[in-house]
Structure 1
Amino acid sequence: MSATRTFRIASIPADGVGKEVVSAGRRVLDALASHAGGTFAFEWTEFPWGCEYYAETGKMMADDGLETLKDFDAIYFGAVGWENVPDHISLWGLRLNITQNFDQWANIRPVRFLPGVQSPLRKADDTELDWVVVRENSEGEYAGIGGRNLRGRGPGNEVALQTALFTEKGCERIMRFAFDLARTRTVKKVSSVTKSNAQQYGMVLWDEVFDRVALDYPDVTTESVLVDAMSAKFVLKPEDLSVVVASNLNADILSDLGSALAGSLGLAASANLNPERRFPSMFEPVHGTAPDIAGKGISNPIGAIASAALMLDHFGLHDEARQLESAIERTTAAGHLTRDIGGEATTDDVTDAIIEALAPSPAVL
């Protein structure tokens, strides 16, 4: 029997542990589909792009890569970067090439504290903590505007300029996205992160747009917090957070801090969304390629698998997304933990445990 709906997914494992965790996520999604009674299925097409591809071709992805990707329903991404390619080339040549050209302007990064995983934050022992970082993903500090000049004047005289771009349109759309998300949560609150005391142009525009947009959401509590103070708040008062919206760079840093507080970057999921659905969205774990453990079969697949849950939500499969998140929680609660979170389980061990937790309970006769 053919599936009622087949989702065409472009798989880009890229480099290092990205290959291992994408493979794990694909196994989990296929297992979930196998229990769905033929209501949906996944059709995978894998692309070899990344630093190995660069070593062979001098390019991080094929020349027609974007044209090839645009007709897929979603992109499932691993991690990019290796010692043979400078980081700014690998990042701009593949990941940012996709997110910016496909206008994936909303990046969401949930911070979840899983049962059985010890957090370095003592407050997590007896306080329910759950928040999401909403990252402006198309401009800000990652706009790529600037240059290097005056090298011809001799050593020590070169000047580099890196310009952050803030547009009223870009600020407003990510803020409305954050407010709409807050309305779906138990705690309806949006915390805006800025540095307008020092960055008096772009960040002041950010603050002004936030104040204006907030007027349209009187049911949502708001606050504006400087990024240094928000870093402290993540540690000292995380129970006060629900939705945190920030610029490209600030949200990138804060979401890593949140994941570390939850126990490991290996747990962190993310979604790069084109909310208008003019282009496919991309789902990826937050962690890097981890060269020190790549190929050893001990990487943590939970970030990639939780990113798959975000992809299910994007497809409207909300019950299945909650089912997958529940399977992850049951797995960690049962003690199936990789080394980064205090256990000895392998990548396959954790993946197998999640798949087992997804299986329907046998009928009672």
Structure 2
Amino acid sequence: MKTYRIAILPGDGIGPEVMTEGVKVLKALAEADSSFQLETTSFEWNSDYYLKHNRMMPEDGLSRLKDFDAIYFGAIGDRRVPEHIPIWELIMPIRKNFNQYVNLRPIKQLPGVKSPLHTKSPIDFYVFRENAEGEYSNMGGRLYQKTPDEMAVQNTVITKKGVQRLARYAFDYARKNSVTKVVNATKSNAIIHSMGLWDEVVKTTASEYPGIEVEDVYIDALAAHFVQRPESFEVVVASNLFGDILTDLGAALVGGLGLSPSANLNPEGDFPSMFEPIHGSAPDITGKQIANPIAQIWSAALMLEHLGREDLSAIVMKAIERVVESNTALTPDLKGNAKTFETGDAIVKQIYQQM
């Protein structure tokens, strides 16, 4: 029997609510499959912790996380704490120090979910977002604050190594899944240095993968293409900022943030990878039990796949699809009236029916 040690970070707002359902699903799998054992440790590192300790996690927080098999994250953010603090004192340190350089985001239209667009076929593609450098680099500063001459500089960091390792991961996925074209999100006509290097490295890496075409598309045109013909995409590679924006748009096209998972991957396995929904903590609906837990549960499916249990991941995904397609136990964002825990219970029921 394989035991997986999972660090649980429920976070703020609706984070604990949807996390409860994600853990419920994982425990149901462990109960139904004798080859799978789950050992979870919860860390209440959130905005309440910050207000008590003036930091988002203990000084040894990263060392306490590094030996887990994976990190399962909820959502973070609280009106009492400036927005940048949870990001730069919790999420970013984990992503960067654990070298989670691939941010994987499925843009997949589930059966029964109507897109606001009238597409020729279901939307189903992946965005591979660079996750460790790029536009989200804490380099720069402000001068002459509170004077008429105030100025700010924020540096974008693009490295050959950073682009190459992301591109290789995306092209490996494309080759494995018989994808013949990878779309490269760029803006090298205007951002000539950093995006110029980005394009060069993507193209050089592509030369290692005969039979896979690379199409460079400027980010403004690509955003339009997401709306005009999203069903035409299979694999998209993008920088940190571009990928972040594109995937929020993609989520809107397939049912909203409540259906959108993500994986922050350290492909080599030197550190744990982290799995989380892309939605925020939604303080306006906290405590109402109306948050959609599917993105959190789908993130668990991505975690299982990363841990080598594609069989269990497929069971979770089939359970999600059956619940959504049957139009039962859906939360208000999907025009239902179910509570968060009722959606989780319905997915668990579908899991048991498969095992």
TM-score when scaled to structure 2? Answer: 0.98
Q: Which residue of 2 aligns with 1:233?
A: 225
Provide the rounded CA distance (Å) in 1 between the counterparts of 2:121 and 2:85.
Answer: 42
Percentage of identical aligned residues: 51
Provide the rounded CA distance (Å) in 2 between the counterparts of 1:340 and 1:316.
Answer: 32
Q: Which residue of 1 aligns with 2:17?
A: 20
Q: Which residue of 1 aligns with 2:193?
A: 201
Q: Which residue of 2 aligns with 1:173?
A: 165
Match for 2:346: what amino acid?
Answer: A
Deviation string, structure 1 residues 74-117 (Cα, Å, up to 9, x no partner): 00000111111111111001111111111100110001101222
Matched, 1:265 2:257: yes
Q: Which residue of 2 aligns with 1:140?
A: 134
Return the offset for 1:172: 0.6
Deviation string, structure 1 residues 288-338 (Cα, Å, up to 9, x no partner): 000110111110000000000000011110111111101100000111321
CA contact (8 A) 2:117 2:253 kept: yes
Q: Which residue of 1 aligns with 2:333?
A: 340
Q: Which residue of 2 aligns with 1:82?
A: 78
Structure 1: tracts of 5 or more residues without a match: none
Matched, 1:6 2:24: no
Provide the rounded CA distance (Å) in 2 between the counterparts of 1:286 and 1:83.
Answer: 19
Structure 2: tracts of 5 or more residues without a match: none
Provide the rounded CA distance (Å) in 2 between the counterparts of 1:332 and 1:361.
Answer: 16
Match for 2:340: what amino acid?
Answer: T
Helix, strand or coil at the partner of 2:337: coil
Q: Which residue of 1 aligns with 2:242?
A: 250
Return the offset for 1:268: 0.4
Match for 1:140: what amino acid?
Answer: G
TM-score when scaled to structure 1? Answer: 0.95
Aligned Cα RMSD in Å? 1.1
Q: Which residue of 2 aligns with 1:350?
A: 343
Return the offset for 1:361: 5.6
Q: Which residue of 2 aligns with 1:317?
A: 309
Return the offset for 1:54: 0.6
Q: Which residue of 2 aligns with 1:287?
A: 279
Match for 1:13: what amino acid?
Answer: P
Deviation string, structure 1 residues 123-179 (Cα, Å, up to 9, x no partner): 1xx51220011000000001111011122xx52211110000000110111011110
Q: Which residue of 1 aligns with 2:96?
A: 100
Helix, strand or coil at the partner of 1:104: coil
Provide the rounded CA distance (Å) in 1 between the counterparts of 2:236 and 2:65.
Answer: 30
CA contact (8 A) 1:118 1:341 kept: no
CA contact (8 A) 1:99 1:105 kept: yes
Q: Which residue of 1 aligns with 2:177?
A: 185
CA contact (8 A) 2:320 2:347 kept: yes
Count of aligned positions:
354
Helix, strand or coil at the partner of 1:170: helix
Provide the rounded CA distance (Å) in 2 between the counterparts of 1:222 and 1:200.
Answer: 19
Helix, strand or coil at the partner of 1:48: coil
1:33 counterpart (12, 30, 33): 30
Return the offset for 1:118: 2.0
